[in-house]
Amino acid sequence: MGRQATEMLKGTLEGIVLAILSTRAAYGYEITAWLREQGFSDIAEGTIYALLVRIEQRGLVDVAKVPSEKGPPRKVYSLNAQGREYLEEFWKTWAFLTERLEQLRQGGDQA
């Protein structure tokens, strides 16, 4: 989607992944595929894996190694209590941002 999207994803992508994991446990490959389906056409594979490693190191998710029928074992991530708290904060920050931008958009349309 271009340069703007790349920069806007910073910080947001983390929230997106946490939000996905709040509905169900998932592994990297699966998440990447799902995001592509949702229109995040050019999210790099490596980006998701790196992100997953980060949130694991911060203790926001639990990990389970599950054998796959069709490849190497999967690392299945699930959101834990701390992750849920963090996700709450994310939504608050997101709400603040969207409010400000909604105001700006309306103001800009008038001018």
Partner DNA sequence: CGGTGTATTCGGTGTTGCTAAGTACCGGTA
Partner DNA sequence: TACCGGTACTTAGCAACACCGAATACACCG
Q: How far is CA 91 from CA 42, 51, 65, 88, 104, in A?
A: 24, 18, 29, 5, 20
Q: How far is the CB of 18 from DNA (least distance, A)?
A: 11
The nearer residue to DNA, 94 or 110, going by C-beta atoms, is 94
The nearer residue to DNA, 76 or 79, going by C-beta atoms, is 76
Q: Cβ atoms within 10 A of the Cβ of 23, count?
A: 8
Contact status: 34 vs a copy of itself (CB under 8 A)? no
Sign for the CA dihedral angle at 26, 30, 36, 40 comes to positive
Q: Cβ atoms within 10 A of the Cβ of 64, count?
A: 12
Among 40, 47, 62, 80, binds a copy of itself (CB under 8 A): 40
Q: How far is the CB of 100 from DNA (least distance, A)?
A: 14
User: What's the order of all strands across the beta sheet hosting 71-79?
Assistant: 26-27, 71-79, 61-68
The nearer residue to a copy of itself, 46 or 96, going by C-beta atoms, is 96
Residues that bind a copy of itself (CB under 8 A): 1-2, 4-12, 14-16, 19-20, 22-24, 38-40, 87, 89-91, 93-94, 96-98, 100-101, 104-105, 107-108, 110-111
